[in-house]
Amino acid sequence: AQSVTQPDIHITVSEGASLELRCNYSYGATPYLFWYVQSPGQGLQLLLKYFSGDTLVQGIKGFEAEFKRSQSSFNLRKPSVHWSDAAEYFCAFNQAGTALIFGKGTTLSVSS
């Protein structure tokens, strides 16, 4: 069955430290992959997307993600976390034009 797994429910990172959020997908072909961020009381904001080509994609707010076909992974990274990055992060995929399938999300806390 098609699915997205985010193994970490909650992660705490010190401000200024690096961040990596994990995402694994289960799908028969190469999907279209996305990372969204949700701040409290807000909707989901698109951070970045991967459709094809370069497997390292750059997004907004200094985030990047790397697609690894062999590991069925699409991990999100940021070299230096800011307190304002505290939020919930969702990995998702779809076939073009269809519904998004989301992971359960990872809550990021940033400590000072």
Stretches 16-24, 43-51, 53-61, 64-72: which one binds other proteins (CB under 8 A)?
43-51
49/37 Cα distance (integer angstroms): 12
Is the Cβ–Cβ distance between 49 and 33 less than 8 Å? yes
Rank residues 76 and 81 by Cβ distance to other proteins and give the closer one.
76
Nearest to 30 by CA among 64, 59, 57, 70: 70
Three-class DSSP category at 85: helix
Tokens (6 digits) for 88? 């919930």
Q: Is 105 in the site for other proteins (CB under 8 A)?
A: yes
Mark 13-42 with x for binding to other proteins (rule: CB under 8 A) and - for no binding: -------------------x-x-x----xx
Q: Is 53 in the site for other proteins (CB under 8 A)?
A: no
What is the contact surface with other proteins in residues (CB under 8 A)? 32, 34, 36, 41-46, 49, 51, 90, 92, 96-105
